[in-house]
Amino acid sequence: MDTSKLFSLQGRTALVTGGSRGIGRMIAAGFVAQGAKVYISSRKADACDETAAELGPNCIALPQDISTVEGARNLAARYGEVEDRLDILVNNAGAAWGVPFEEFPEHGWDKVMDLNVKSPFFLTQALHPALKAAGSAARPAKVINITSIDGLRLNPWDTYSYHASKSALIYLTKRLAARLIRDHINVTSIAPGAFASEMNRAARDHGDEVAKGIPAKRIGEAEDMAGTAIFLASRAGDYIVGDTIVCDGGLVNAALGTSIDA
């Protein structure tokens, strides 16, 4: 058994949404380091261009707002103008909204559900021909949805639509996997825990305090997220289908509950 190229992404093409910062950037950087040609997309063109310049010539900016079905289809069309196949799609773009239950607004619900659930479905649908062109029984194409541990457990904040959206995306991952496997496209998801990002400002701004509640006693680092994504995207992850890998330092699966004595 030759494992020297097991995690290589040499010659592969990838598209990472929300790739200009946070978890998307971590994944894009990891893919580039493993030899992939990576397109990153976000709604802010300047941030997209800046990140692409920092990650080098194998990272190309493809800015687009995908919060609507039209936007998702526009991104797929723009990608199709430069590439005729897609080996790896990472659906990472997302939003959160936290407001007390009594005040939670409809637009906060819709924004989160649209970007976190609707957009991954319709972008995958729009890119299906390119993914299908890349996939084979020997080397399947990959769709990796970035979900969250908040789709598996509760956090203490009033993020009702975020909880619902990430739980929905975990289950949508399974349903898409069941359909797309016939086209040699493997669909999986990663459920991150505490990683420093604009969306997770607690981890970003108070990492030492957040780490106290995590069994591993630290927040996630870029290498943790990149490594998980590289595993799923590479030959090493070719037999993983429909599953969600939790990358959280043990918070979901290795944290003990509390007991109240009677």
Catalytic annotation present for 79: no
Active-site residue among 39, 79, 160, 162?
A: 162
Low-confidence ranges of the chain (pLDDT < 70): 200-206, 260-262
| pLDDT tens profile 26-39 | 999 999 999 999 99
- State residue 262's pLDDT score: 55
| pLDDT tens profile 76-125 | 999 999 999 999 999 999 999 999 999 999 999 999 999 999 999 999 99
Domain range summary for the chain, segments of one domain joined by +: 13-247
Name the CATH architecture for the domain at 13-247: 3-Layer(aba) Sandwich (3.40)
- State residue 34's pLDDT score: 98
pTM score above 0.85: yes
Give the 3-state DSSP-derived string for the chain, with helices as H, strands as E and coil as C. CCCCCCCCCCCCEEEEECCCCHHHHHHHHHHHHCCCEEEEECCCHHHHHHHHHHHCCCEEECCCCCCCHHHHHHHHHHHHHHCCCCCEEEECCCCCCCCCHHHCCHHHHHHHHHHHHHHHHHHHHHCHHHHHHHCCCCCCEEEEEECCHHHCCCCCCCCHHHHHHHHHHHHHHHHHHHHHHHHCEEEEEEEECCECCCCCHHHHHCHHHHHCCCCCCCCECHHHHHHHHHHHHCHHHCCCCCCEEEECCCCCCCCCCCCCCC
- State residue 206's pLDDT score: 64
